[in-house]
């Protein structure tokens, strides 16, 4: 009995001290590419148990069929019609695969996987439909690392309970549809990842998850939310000026599911709401640091309850975000509707301590430190 009690105690402690987060699904070990392996050819069918490689000069195939086998892309390959009955594709770091599925698009019905370490471009719709997918034979599309990217001007449709899109890097789609038969967490986003899409359609509760760290989703044109998108406060939502959301019927136009502090309107890109300082480049907002010539002032600093934000005429910011000392968003306000040249921010509910204010402009971000005093 004493031994049994000890085992129960140990099991309880293990549960108690497990990490407070889980990860998205993991990729298998990266396939190597030596350069002397069996090469793939146009119009080939790769059967179960067979591995083929593409390396060397860029090539274009009319058609390729995977029927349980594995394709490793080491350089650059274009496949006009990719048929995946089942099987695995690995796109190595620095490699690129461009693939389409013919007139009906690509349809994965089970046991299909692409593990992308490089760049994956999809030229047609891609649908995860089943019906042969199971827990042990899922459909998986994964950007494995932060440097991986996938892009399609068409739709990614998830309509199967054993199908997942996992993004640890950058994803761009015409639209992602989490349809009726998808499940919670079917879109899993890694730390620092971004998903850009013109259209977002969600029909299941909590389809998007962020197990660890912050991630961001940009929606440029249109969203339809028939159920809550996420219950994860680590997801940032970036909505452009041209974005609109479906209303009426069972639609939930504000059904993002995250705190309103994490939904940003008039947002150009995820870089506008990045939690870590962005390096200056032509594609990201310019970071204006605290000691730079000020376009804006925040006072008093230190403060007790209210911070006044004041800007130069013609230099009105889009929004202001307050972060605590571990990077969590504790307050956010859109300033698009503010007419005056100043605005009061009430931070009475925050505890005393150090904070960081990020003031977003089109093309630049100002960062200033704030101190809240005790009462």
* Confidence band for 333, pLDDT divided at 50, 70 and 90: confident
> Is 373 a residue whose pLDDT tops 70?
yes
Structural domains counted in the chain: 2
Question: How many angstroms separate the CA atoms of 263 and 58, rounded?
Answer: 42
Q: Is residue 11 a part of any domain in this protein?
A: no
> Is 253 a residue whose pLDDT tops 70?
yes
Give 77-94 pLDDT, tens digit per residue. 999 999 999 999 999 999
Residue 159 CA neighbour count, 13 Å, CB half: 14
Q: Is residue 132 a part of any domain in this protein?
A: yes
Question: How many angstroms separate the CA atoms of 189 and 204, rounded?
Answer: 17
DSSP string, 199-247: EEEE-STT-EE--SS-EEEEEEEEEEESS---S-TTEEEEE-TT-EE--
The pTM for the full model equals 0.78
Give 2-57 pLDDT, tens digit per residue. 444 443 333 333 333 333 335 799 999 999 999 999 999 999 999 999 999 999 99
Do 181 and 62 lie in a common domain? yes
350, exposed or middle or buried, with CB in 10 Å at 0-12, 13-18, 19+? middle
| CB atoms inside a 10 Å sphere around CB 200 | 29
Question: How many angstroms separate the CA atoms of 119 and 110, rounded?
Answer: 23
Do 256 and 318 lie in a common domain? no
Q: Tell me, what's the pLDDT at 222?
A: 97
- pLDDT over 70, % of the chain: 87
DSSP string, 25-83: PPPPPPPP--S-SPBP-TT-EEETT-EEEE-SS-EEEEEEEEEEEEEEE-SEEEEEEEE
Do 180 and 262 lie in a common domain? yes
Q: Tell me, what's the pLDDT at 1?
A: 45
As beta bridge partners, residue 225 has 202
Question: How many angstroms separate the CA atoms of 69 and 51, rounded?
Answer: 6
Residue 169, phi then psi, degrees to nearest 5: -125, -120
> Is 346 a residue whose pLDDT tops 90?
yes
- How many whole angstroms from its chain centre is CA 74? 25
Among residues 249, 217, 221, 246, the alpha carbon closest in space to that of 230 is found at 217
* Confidence band for 326, pLDDT divided at 50, 70 and 90: confident
> Can you tell me the mean pLDDT for 341-345?
91
Do 89 and 220 lie in a common domain? yes
Question: Which CATH number goes with the domain that contains 358?
Answer: 2.60.40.3080
Do 228 and 163 lie in a common domain? yes
Q: Is residue 15 a part of any domain in this protein?
A: no
Length of the chain: 375
| CB atoms inside a 10 Å sphere around CB 17 | 8
Q: Is residue 104 a part of any domain in this protein?
A: yes
Give 268-325 pLDDT, tens digit per residue. 788 777 644 433 333 344 444 444 445 788 899 999 999 999 988 777 888 888 988 7
Query: Which contiguous run of DSSP H or E holds residue 115?
Result: strand 112-116
- How many whole angstroms from its chain centre is CA 184? 15
Among residues 367, 360, 142, 347, the alpha carbon closest in space to that of 270 is found at 360
Do 261 and 321 lie in a common domain? no
> Can you tell me the mean pLDDT for 352-359?
89
Q: Tell me, what's the pLDDT at 234?
A: 84
Q: Tell me, what's the pLDDT at 348?
A: 93
> Is 168 a residue whose pLDDT tops 80?
yes
Do 181 and 32 lie in a common domain? yes
Q: Is residue 2 a part of any domain in this protein?
A: no
- CB distance 132 to 110 below 8 Å: yes
Q: Say which range, 86-90, 165-169, 190-194, 218-222, has the weakest mean pLDDT.
A: 190-194
The whole domain housing 204 covers 24-273
Integer CA distances (angstroms), 58 to 116, 127, 128, 180, in order? 18, 27, 28, 39
Q: Tell me, what's the pLDDT at 12?
A: 33
> Where among 245, 273, 301 does a domain terminate?
273
> Where among 239, 273, 307 does a domain terminate?
273
Among residues 339, 372, 375, 340, the alpha carbon closest in space to that of 357 is found at 372
Do 251 and 129 lie in a common domain? yes
Average pLDDT, the chain: 86
Do 59 and 99 lie in a common domain? yes
* Confidence band for 190, pLDDT divided at 50, 70 and 90: very high
Among residues 200, 212, 203, the alpha carbon closest in space to that of 238 is found at 200
> Is 123 a residue whose pLDDT tops 60?
yes
Q: Tell me, what's the pLDDT at 363?
A: 64
Do 157 and 122 lie in a common domain? yes
Among residues 27, 2, 279, the alpha carbon closest in space to that of 148 is found at 27
- CB distance 27 to 115 below 8 Å: yes
> Is 118 a residue whose pLDDT tops 50?
yes
Q: Say which range, 42-46, 114-118, 135-139, 363-367, has the weakest mean pLDDT.
A: 363-367
Q: Is residue 141 a part of any domain in this protein?
A: yes
- Where do runs of H (alpha helix) occur along the chain? 2-16
> Is 96 a residue whose pLDDT tops 90?
yes
Q: Tell me, what's the pLDDT at 293?
A: 46
Do 42 and 174 lie in a common domain? yes
Q: Tell me, what's the pLDDT at 264?
A: 84
């Amino acid at each position: 009995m004493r031994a049994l009690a000890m085992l129960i105690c140990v099991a309880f402690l293990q549960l108690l001290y497990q990490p407070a987060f889980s990860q998205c699904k993991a990729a298998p070990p990266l396939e190597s590419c030596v350069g002397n392996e069996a090469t793939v050819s146009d119009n080939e069918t790769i059967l179960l148990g067979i591995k083929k490689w593409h390396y060397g000069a860029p090539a274009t195939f009319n058609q390729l069929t995977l029927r349980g086998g594995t394709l490793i892309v080491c350089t650059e390959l274009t496949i006009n019609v990719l048929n995946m009955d089942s099987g695995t594709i690995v796109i190595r770091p620095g490699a690129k695969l461009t693939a389409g599925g013919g007139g009906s698009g690509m349809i994965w019905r089970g046991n299909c996987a692409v593990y992308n370490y490089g760049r994956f471009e999809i030229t047609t719709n891609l649908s995860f439909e089943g019906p042969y997918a199971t827990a042990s034979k899922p459909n998986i599309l994964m950007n494995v690392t932060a440097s991986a990217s996938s892009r399609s001007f068409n739709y990614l449709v998830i309509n199967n309970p054993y199908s997942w899109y996992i993004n640890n890097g950058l994803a761009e789609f015409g639209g992602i549809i989490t349809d009726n038969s998808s499940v919670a967490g079917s879109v899993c986003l890694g730390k620092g990842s971004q998903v850009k899409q013109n259209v977002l359609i969600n029909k299941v509760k909590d389809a998007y998850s962020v197990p660890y760290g912050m991630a961001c989703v940009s929606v440029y044109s249109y969203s339809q939310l028939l159920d809550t998108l996420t219950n994860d406060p680590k997801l940032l939502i970036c909505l452009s000026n041209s974005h609109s959301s479906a209303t009426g019927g069972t639609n939930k136009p504000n059904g993002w599911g995250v705190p309103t502090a994490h939904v940003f309107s008039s947002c150009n890109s995820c870089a506008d709401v990045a939690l870590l300082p962005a390096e200056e480049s032509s594609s990201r907002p310019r970071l204006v640091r605290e000691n730079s010539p000020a376009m804006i002032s925040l006072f008093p600093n230190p403060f007790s309850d209210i911070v006044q934000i004041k800007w130069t005429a013609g230099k009105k910011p889009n929004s202001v975000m307050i972060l605590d000392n571990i990077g969590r968003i504790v307050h956010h306000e859109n300033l698009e509707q503010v007419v005056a040249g100043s605005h009061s921010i009430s931070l009475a509910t925050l505890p005393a301590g150090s904070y960081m204010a990020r003031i977003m402009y089109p093309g630049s971000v100002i960062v200033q430190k704030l101190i809240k005093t005790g009462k």
